[in-house]
Structure 1
Amino acid sequence: MEQERVDNLEIEILSDNWYTLKKVNFDFRKNDGNWERQSREAYDRGNGAAILLYNLEKETVILTKQFRMPTFLNGNTSGMMIEVCAGLLEKDNAEDCIRRETQEETGYEISNVEKVFEAYMSPGSVTEIVHFFIAEYHEDMKIGEGGGVDEEQEDIEVLELKFSEALIMMKDGKIKDGKTIMLLQHLQLQLILADS
């Protein structure tokens, strides 16, 4: 059994304008058993869910394209990112969240979703756990245009791409979103869709 590593926790809220940024001072027990006072910042935006929709007959996937300010600030000159459908859980469980987000962002109403794993995406600075899903889609599931929710200032383009094309875009840097890369590779590794 692993011994406790954190003691004397002090948390200060630095910002709660959009999500919550906390400064955390604490004593940390190092591997050699000695205690050291440390200070970190953690960004809490809640937990999220992401999904990759795929069609076996057409060998296609549904992705989204939207503006992401943090990527713009870090050298992505257009700020546009190609991603899987995703969203914050808010008060929903992960499955209900991803069904809602799928309909809002892509226009597809899905019922059967398969959870494949969950992961911390940036554990050095962000508290969020993302729940990852896949689901098969068909044209008769499309009940709207998607594009996101106006009140959330979303302006989302829906992309239907050949799976092989999405893999090429991942390799040549057109797809740089971690969630998307993980789910595309999951489909590839599980041999759900072919890559050629």
Structure 2
Amino acid sequence: MSSVIVRIPGVDVPDERGRTGLDRAGRDLTGNPDVVVRDVELIASGWHVLRRTTFDYRHADGRWTRERRETYDRGNGATVLPYDLARGTVLLARQFRYPVYVNGHPDGMLLEAAAGLLDDDEPEAAIRREAEEELGVTLGALTHVFDVYMSPGSVTERLHFYAAPYRPSDRTGAGGGIADEGEDIAVVELPFAEALAMIGDGRIADAKTVMLLQWAALHVFS
């Protein structure tokens, strides 16, 4: 009787994106002696990757417990707030976001700062690319604001935040995103004071955008 070898896409054979070894993430971590990774299970590997990790955790009182956590790995990203200090404006993007639509947002249309995944680029190169694709603006000097884990309880993503001045002449394209990737983005130029007020009344409800606008209130438009 012959045994059947089960090969798992994303583990020992390529998944739809050509990836293998997706169950290896975290197995070699040694930075925290109170955490010992025991097993990593690949749950799903669609566009992004969902894993279940089993690890032993030593508590402050010395007790060891066995824990399990699911992590969603979508890669790291970058975001930027272009601002025109002379005219008192900022450039934002409006687009449909299904996750917020299914979780109570009236129409799923979010007003937010341009952002995107790094893919294989450095953060500055990635956000320049996204600004051109989404907003149609060519950015000059970038200010690095901070790097933030946006949802550390379950999502591995670290987002790199930037701000950059722009002038009307820097709006070199139409923006709108990449149609082949399903993007349908409207470019919105707003007075900064209005954008800031939109946080208070809920018209801006995106975390990265709130953070960048609050930073700009302290460091740019103060």
Among 65, 70, 74, which residue is 2:99 paired with? 70
Residue in structure 1 matched with residue 184 of structure 2 by the alignment = 155
- Match status 1:88 vs 2:117: yes
Query: Structure 1 residues 3 and 75 mapped into 2: Cα distance closer, same or farther (>3 Å)?
Result: closer
Q: In structure 2, how many angstroms separate the alpha carbons of the residues matched to 1:155 and 1:31?
A: 49
- Deviation per CA, 1:22-48, whole angstroms, max 9, x where unpaired? 111111111112110011100000000
Calculate the TM-score normalised by the size of structure 2: 0.84
Q: What letter is aligned with 1:90?
A: D
Higher relative contact order (CA 8 A, sep 6+): 1
Structure label with greater radius of gyration: 2
Residue in structure 2 matched with residue 187 of structure 1 by the alignment = 216
| SS of 1:90 mapped into structure 2 | coil
Identical columns (%): 47
Give 1:5 shift: 1.9
- Deviation per CA, 1:132-166, whole angstroms, max 9, x where unpaired? 00000001111111000112110001000000000
- Match status 1:133 vs 2:180: no
Which one has the bigger strand percentage? 1
Q: In structure 2, how many angstroms separate the alpha carbons of the residues matched to 1:70 and 1:130?
A: 18
Give 1:92 shift: 0.1
The within-5 A match list for 1:23-62 is 23-62=52-91
Calculate the TM-score normalised by the size of structure 1: 0.95
Give 1:3 shift: 5.5
- Deviation per CA, 1:7-61, whole angstroms, max 9, x where unpaired? 1431111111120001111111111121100111000000000000000111000
Q: In structure 2, how many angstroms separate the alpha carbons of the residues matched to 1:122 and 1:111?
A: 30
> What CA RMSD, in Å, does the superposition of the two structures yield over aligned residues?
1.1
Task: Give structure 2 stretches of 5+ with no counterpart.
Answer: 1-30
Give 1:77 shift: 2.3
Q: What letter is aligned with 1:42?
A: T
Q: In structure 2, how many angstroms separate the alpha carbons of the residues matched to 1:57 and 1:92?
A: 32
Residue in structure 2 matched with residue 174 of structure 1 by the alignment = 203
Give 1:4 shift: 1.4
Q: In structure 2, how many angstroms separate the alpha carbons of the residues matched to 1:113 and 1:124?
A: 30
Query: Structure 1 residues 193 and 8 mapped into 2: Cα distance closer, same or farther (>3 Å)?
Result: closer
- Deviation per CA, 1:104-135, whole angstroms, max 9, x where unpaired? 00000113111111000000000000000000
Number of paired residues?
192
4+ residue segments displaced more than 2 Å: none
Q: What letter is aligned with 2:214?
A: Q
- Deviation per CA, 1:64-104, whole angstroms, max 9, x where unpaired? 00011110111012011110000000000000000000000
